[in-house]
Structure 1
Amino acid sequence: MRDQALFDKIDLHLIRILHTVLTDRSVSRAAIRLGMYQPAVSAALKRLRELSGDPLLVRSGAGMVPTDAGLRMIEPSAAILRSAEVLFSDARGFEPQTAVTTFRIAASDYLDPLFLPTLVAQVKSNAPLCGIEIHPLSPDSDYHAHLSLGHVDLVIGNWLKPPEDLHMSRLFGDEIVSLVNKDHPAVRRGWDADTWLAAEHIAPTPTHPGARGIVDQMLDELDMQRNITARCAHFGLIPDMVASSLLVLTTGRQYCERFIPRLPVKILECPVVLPRLMYYQLWHERTHSSSSARWLRERIKSVAASLRPPPSNPAAAHTN
C-alpha cells in the first residue's frame, strides 16, 4: 500500500522535471529548458526529495552534482519519458507533420558519407517537430541491449552475418575496392594479391579487444592477412590520411567515390576477390509494430535507394 500511495503522487511532468534537473545539474538551467519559473522547479525538486528520501542534487564547488541515488534515477526516468513519447502517438498512428518524438539511430561511420546528412535532412523536412539523435555503434558492440532497452530505435551498419534474433532489412550492397594516393606506386605498376597484402594498409580501430573488421574476416576465410600499419577510430578521417601518404584503405566503392572530387586519390580494384559489403538496418521486436519506427525505417530505405549509384552498364538500367 505504501508503494501505491507513493506512485499516486508521481506524474509524468514530475518525472520530466527530475530528469531535466539531474542532467542539467542546475535548477535555473532546467527551468529555462522546461519553460517554467525557477521557484516552481525548486518546489518540484523539494517534492522529489521528500518522495525519494534523498537530496538528489547537492552543491559541489560552484556547481551542483547528482547524488548516487540521483545518478541511478537518470536512465530510468529517461526510459519512462521515451515510452511516454510513443504511448499514445503510436496508438493514434504516426502523422509526420504533427508528431513530436525523438528518433535514436546507432550507425557505423563506414556508411556513404552522404547517407546520415541526407537522412537527417529528410526527417527534419518531413517531421519538423521530431528530434533525431545519431549515436556511434557502442564500443562494447552490445547493440542487442541498446535496442531492447530503448536506448536506440535501430542500428545501421554492415555485417558478414547479421544476427538472426533481430529484425533486419537490407539497404544496399557495395563492391570492395582500395583507395590510394594518386601517386601510389600501384597506380603506375598495378598490383597482384601478394603486393596488395604487403602494402601498408590503414584500418578502423577495433570496436573492442579481439574484434576483426569485415575485410579482415573475409581475408581470414581465405587464410590471408594484410599488412595493417595504421588504425584510426574515426573512419571519416581516413581518406585524408590516405591522400597524404602511401597507406591503402580498403572499403566500399560508394564510400570511396565521395572523396574523388576533393582529394588527390584514386580507386583501384582489389586483386583479392572478396564478397560485396552488405549494409543493413536492424531493429528489435519492441519497435517492430510501432508506426513511428516503421515510418523511420521507410525513410532510411528511401535514402539508401536515392544514393545508390546508377548502373555502370547503360543497358542494365532497362533490364527487368
Structure 2
Amino acid sequence: MSRFDLNLLRVLDTLMACRSVSETARRLHLSQSTVSHALARCREQLNDPLFVASRHGMQPTPRALAIAPAFRQALETVEQAVNDEAGFDPASSERRFTVAAGAYFDTLMLPHFMAELMQCAPRVSLGVRGLIGSDYERELEEGELDMVIGFVAPSQLSPRLQTRPFIEYPLSLLCRQQVDQPLTPQFLAQLAYVYPSEWGHSQLLTDKWFASHGISRDIRLQLPDFQSLPQVLVHTDLVATMPAPIASLYAEQFSLRSYPLDDGLTIKMVLAWHPRFAMDPGLKWLVDKVMAVKETLSQ
C-alpha cells in the first residue's frame, strides 16, 4: 500500500467502465500516452496485466475484476466528502433536478410540489420524465437522473440503489357504468380494458393478479400515458385499472365511477438514488422536500 499511487484509482475505475484507453483519456481530459503510462504503473505496482487488448476492447483480468469494486467505493467516498462540503442553499441555488416518476407523482403531487418549490427555492428548476423499463442504476450513477420514484414490486429498481419508502396505495377499477356486483376475477375477465401505459408497473401487477386466477385481460386499447384515458372512458364502455387515488380524482372530475379492487392488490413505491450521490446535500434536500409534500397531502 505504501508504494501504490492513489492518483491511479480514477484511471483504473474509468478503464473498467469503458474498456478503452482512448475513451478513458477523453473522459478524464488526459492524453492517451498519459493513460497508457498510468496503466503501466498500475500493472507494475499490482504485479498483474489488469487489462488485455482484444477485438472487443481492453478486457479486465480476474485480478482487475476483483479489485474494481473496492476502488469504486473508495472514489465514491472521496466524492461524497467533497460534495458534502459544498452545501446547498435552496433560496439561492439555480440547480436543475431531474426526476423519473409515474402517474401518482405527476398527477397528484406535482402541482403542490411546484408551488412549494417556487416559494422556498425560486431559482431551482425541475425536469420530470416518465418511468421506463429500466433498473435505473446507470441513469442515476451517471447523473442523468437525480432521483427515481419507482416501484417495489414487481421488481424494478437495481438492488444497488439506495431507497426510502414513499407511498403505498391500492388499485381501483375506473369506468362510466355502474357496477352492482362484487369485482371477482371472473367478472373482471368479462370486461374490455384500456392499458394506460407503454410500460407501467400498476398494469403489470394487475396482469400478474389476473394470471394467478388463470385469467387474461381483454386489452382493446393501449395508451402511452393517462392523459386521454378519462375521455376514452367517458365515451365508451371500456374500463381501466389504475392507482386508487388517481381513479378517485378522475371519477370526481369526469363523472366516472371508481371501484376498489382486491385488498391484496397494492402498489408500493420508493424514492431511489445512487450511493455515489448519497451525501449530496442538494439531493438530500430534494428527498426531504418530496416526502414533506407527500405527508402534507396525506393529512
TM-score (norm: length of structure 2): 0.65
Contact 2:198/2:223 (8 A) holds in 1: no
Asked whether 1:295 is paired with 2:285, we answer yes
- 1:61 maps to which residue? none
| Structure 1 CA distance for aligned equivalents of residues 288 and 183 of structure 2 | 42
Asked whether 1:118 is paired with 2:88, we answer no
- 1:172 maps to which residue? 167
- Give, in angstroms, the shift of residue 179 of structure 1: 0.9
- 1:149 maps to which residue? 142
| Structure 2 CA distance for aligned equivalents of residues 269 and 109 of structure 1 | 18
| Structure 2 CA distance for aligned equivalents of residues 112 and 253 of structure 1 | 15
What is the aligned counterpart of 2:268 among 278, 281, 285? 278
What is the aligned counterpart of 1:196 among 188, 192, 211? 188
- Give, in angstroms, the shift of residue 90 of structure 1: 4.5
- 1:70 maps to which residue? none
TM-score (norm: length of structure 1): 0.61
After the TM superposition, which residues 243-254 of structure 1 pair with which residues of structure 2 at under 5 Å, given as runs? 243-254=234-245
| Structure 2 CA distance for aligned equivalents of residues 111 and 290 of structure 1 | 23
Q: Could you give the per-residue CA deviations for residues 123-178 of structure 1, whole angstroms, max 9, x where no partner exists?
A: 2221112121112224x525221111111101113341353221111111112111
Which residue identity lines up with residue 278 of structure 1 in the other structure?
Answer: K
- Shift in CA distance, 259/207, structure 1 to aligned 2, threshold 3 Å: closer
Q: Could you give the per-residue CA deviations for residues 165-222 of structure 1, whole angstroms, max 9, x where no partner exists?
A: 21111111112111110xx1x52455532121220111134339xx972321333344
Contact 2:168/2:266 (8 A) holds in 1: yes
- 1:102 maps to which residue? 96
- Shift in CA distance, 159/216, structure 1 to aligned 2, threshold 3 Å: farther
| Structure 2 CA distance for aligned equivalents of residues 292 and 254 of structure 1 | 29
Contact 1:153/1:293 (8 A) holds in 2: yes
| Structure 2 CA distance for aligned equivalents of residues 191 and 94 of structure 1 | 50
Which residue identity lines up with residue 295 of structure 2 in the other structure?
Answer: A
Number of matched residues? 222
Asked whether 1:241 is paired with 2:213, we answer no
Structure 2: runs of 5+ lacking an equivalent? 1-24, 31-79
> SS in structure 1 opposite 2:85?
helix
- 1:230 maps to which residue? 221
Q: Could you give the per-residue CA deviations for residues 265-308 of structure 1, whole angstroms, max 9, x where no partner exists?
A: 011132x4533111221111122111100000001111222222
Identical columns (%): 20
Structure 1: runs of 5+ lacking an equivalent? 9-85, 311-320
> SS in structure 2 opposite 1:233?
coil
- Give, in angstroms, the shift of residue 87 of structure 1: 10
Contact 1:180/1:266 (8 A) holds in 2: yes
Contact 1:106/1:155 (8 A) holds in 2: yes
- Give, in angstroms, the shift of residue 110 of structure 1: 4.6
Aligned Cα RMSD in Å? 3.0
After the TM superposition, which residues 11-90 of structure 1 pair with which residues of structure 2 at under 5 Å, given as runs? 90=84
Contact 1:103/1:131 (8 A) holds in 2: yes
Runs of 4+ in 1 over 6 A off after TM superposition: 86-89
Q: Could you give the per-residue CA deviations for residues 64-114 of structure 1, whole angstroms, max 9, x where no partner exists?
A: xxxxxxxxxxxxxxxxxxxxxx99875232111112211111111254612
- Shift in CA distance, 128/87, structure 1 to aligned 2, threshold 3 Å: farther
